[in-house]
Amino acid sequence: MASLLKAATSSLRSTFLQARSIATSPPLLIKEIHEKLENNVLVYEGVNVVSPRAEKMLKPACTSKFCPECTLGLDIKHTDVLILSQYVRSDGCMLPRRITGLCHRQQKKMGALVTMAQKAGLMPNLNPSWSKNDPKKRFGWRKFNKYFIESTIKY
């Protein structure tokens, strides 16, 4: 019954949406948004770029599912900022799982490690625009050095 319904709706959808064959952009390319001010007109332009990480990808990491711990057996600490910084955006927020390609457990663990690194002030350049960027200028007790113990991560 369900498959029948599905077939019916899909055929309906195909007949209705037949006309929409216009693609708004060339599909599947990495883009960078440029902001330009020309004659008092602010122009936002999506420019196709090559991924900055394309040529330095590690060979086993080129598969869609790659966890540093499950696949390579790496023990990642919160001080390994060169690895952790690859999983965050330029404002320091964690990339979602459909982009990182980690398994559920590793995604949670990596998120916790990123939080630890940020709290310890090890990635001060990957921060929101309003950030002071210097861990020594934080308020109260947060301005002093702190480190974290990875075994306290529950998952």
Partner 1 sequence: MSIAKRVQQWATFARTWHIYDCTWQNPFESAQLVKTHLMGLHKPIYHPMNDCGDHVVVINTKEIALPGDEWVKRVYFHHTGYPGGASWTLAWQLHEKDPTMVMKKAVYNSMRGNLQRRYTMQRLHLFADDQVPEEILTNVTNQIRTPRTVPQRLDHIDKETLENFPAIVDYPKDYVLR
Number of residues that bind partner 1 (CB under 8 A): 50
Residue placing its CB nearer to partner 1 in the complex, 14 or 73: 73
Buried b (16+ CB within 10 A) or exposed e, 65-83: ebbbeeeeeeebbbeebee
Query: Cα angle vertex 88, ends 57, 97, to 5°?
Result: 80
Residues whose CB is less than 8 angstroms from the CB of residue 113 and which lie 6 or more positions away in sequence, other chains included: 76, 77, 78, 84, 150, 153
Looking only at residues 89 through 118 of this chain, which bind partner 1 when binding is defined by CB under 8 A? 89-91, 95, 98-101
Q: What's the one-letter identity of residue 21?
A: S
| Residue 33 binding partner 1, by CB under 8 A | yes
Residue placing its CB nearer to partner 1 in the complex, 7 or 29: 29
Which of 16, 104, 141, 154: binder of partner 1 (CB under 8 A)?
Answer: 141
d(CA 114, CA 88): 8
Binding site for partner 1 (CB under 8 A): 27-33, 46, 49, 51, 53-54, 56-58, 61-62, 66, 68, 79, 81-83, 85-87, 89-91, 95, 98-101, 120-126, 140-141, 144-149, 152
